[in-house]
Structure 1
């Protein structure tokens, strides 16, 4: 079921928010240790995905070219500007408590490599492990956010499910138009490239790095182009 990962993600956000509403204060030590555990888990998942590549030069070139494109477009900065603008607008509006929680949580849960990579993996391979991992992260994050931003965080599950579900459903149709051999090659290299991005997310969660993962997202498109060229001419 292509939508399973997206649905689980939405349920974890709902569950985390409801639990957070009953907790007035979570000790910082617990927050830190749990987040470290999640960061380690994400890093291992990314390493496992990264090792699946059969043409690692494609992964390298894709990340390099994708990083250049991403930095040139400055996707990370643009997304942060949008988030800050929305938060500023919502925060100044009357009765903006619920709306602020909704907008803030939506931006956190939707913007990121794991949502795209996980949804593609769900649709193409029926593998929901990335979205399951993201669900755990989002569930804990929603719990924390709900203690400060309120019940508005809960409603962020709607755009999250719609966003990830749409990508997953679109991905299920790709195989009808692309040869099986090319699709298999793309899946392997996309998985490996996405895996390295997920490693970056894990390292960021651990506080080891501050990698602008959003600026690496164009690498997924570059993978598709390079694998298609390799299939066509070699």
Structure 2
């Protein structure tokens, strides 16, 4: 049973709902300062994953090529449009009275949390491990951060944050169900390089959260798909030639 996947999705849904209703009770300074902490946590998680990297050229190449693919197919623009669509649907049922940011900033922030919740290396790896071994601790640990992150972001964005739990649940459940096919085809080296690739996205997401630099995190997502094949190719074909 996908217990970890369910808990993670519920943490986002509950955090989003609580934040939407309690947002006007928190000061702007509190929300801004705590968001800086969440950004630091995201960067810390990213760095801790990056240090696991075993084949730097393969990972760097995957990040660059994957991001180039994302930019070429305008993945970030499509996610921006999807985020705007989510808000339009939610606004028909729940009016957000807490948001005082521009529509452009709203969409950019929503895309940031979609990537943070749905495309983090921790969440993807945790879903695969959960499906393969029944070990849910990785996703449960991620759920704690997601709960409070969703709560704080919902103070500004409103109820739409809780809706992010739906695509997150679908993505992680598919990974959970496909774990029996994915995990046996991997090696510990490929897994570590995969985590490192996710770490770069988490690090970039952290910079977006604290508004230092708006990295194209949505366009970086294809890197997560190609990094393990790149890692495998590097180990089996490139390294023997180099050595």
Could you say whether these structures have the same fold, taking a TM-score greater than 0.5 normalized by the shorter chain as the test?
yes
Cα 1:67–1:185, aligned 2, differ >3 Å: closer, same or farther? same
Cα 1:220–1:23, aligned 2, differ >3 Å: closer, same or farther? closer
Q: Which residue of 1 aligns with 2:171?
A: 163
Contact 1:53 1:192 in 2 (8 A): yes
1:174 alignment partner, one of 182, 196, 204: 182
Q: Which residue of 1 aligns with 2:150?
A: 138
Task: Please tell me the root mean square deviation across aligned C-alpha atoms, in Å.
Answer: 3.1
Q: Which residue of 2 aligns with 1:214?
A: 218
- 1:16 CA displacement: 4.5
- C-alpha distance in 2 between matches for 1:87 and 1:23: 17
Q: Which residue of 1 aligns with 2:132?
A: none
1:119 aligns with 2:119: no
- C-alpha distance in 2 between matches for 1:225 and 1:111: 25
- C-alpha distance in 2 between matches for 1:90 and 1:13: 13
1:200 aligns with 2:204: yes
Give the stretch that moved more between structures: 45-54 or 109-118.
109-118
Cα 1:23–1:32, aligned 2, differ >3 Å: closer, same or farther? closer
Contact 1:76 1:212 in 2 (8 A): yes
Structure 1 moving runs of 4+ over 6 Å:
none
- 1:8 CA displacement: 3.3
Cα 1:54–1:109, aligned 2, differ >3 Å: closer, same or farther? closer
Cα 1:3–1:232, aligned 2, differ >3 Å: closer, same or farther? farther
- Provide the secondary structure at the position in 1 that maps to 2:179: helix
- Provide the secondary structure at the position in 2 that maps to 1:24: helix
TM-score, normalization by structure 1: 0.77
Mind listing any 5+ residue stretches in structure 1 that lack a counterpart?
none
Cα 1:190–1:2, aligned 2, differ >3 Å: closer, same or farther? farther
- C-alpha distance in 2 between matches for 1:35 and 1:90: 23
Structural mapping, 1:2-21, within 5 Å: 3-18=3-18, 20-21=20-21
* Alignment: residue pair count: 218
Cα 1:78–1:195, aligned 2, differ >3 Å: closer, same or farther? same
Mind listing any 5+ residue stretches in structure 2 that lack a counterpart?
98-106, 130-134
- C-alpha distance in 2 between matches for 1:155 and 1:193: 26
Contact 2:59 2:193 in 1 (8 A): yes
- 1:79 CA displacement: 1.3
Cα 1:84–1:114, aligned 2, differ >3 Å: closer, same or farther? closer
- 1:84 CA displacement: 2.8
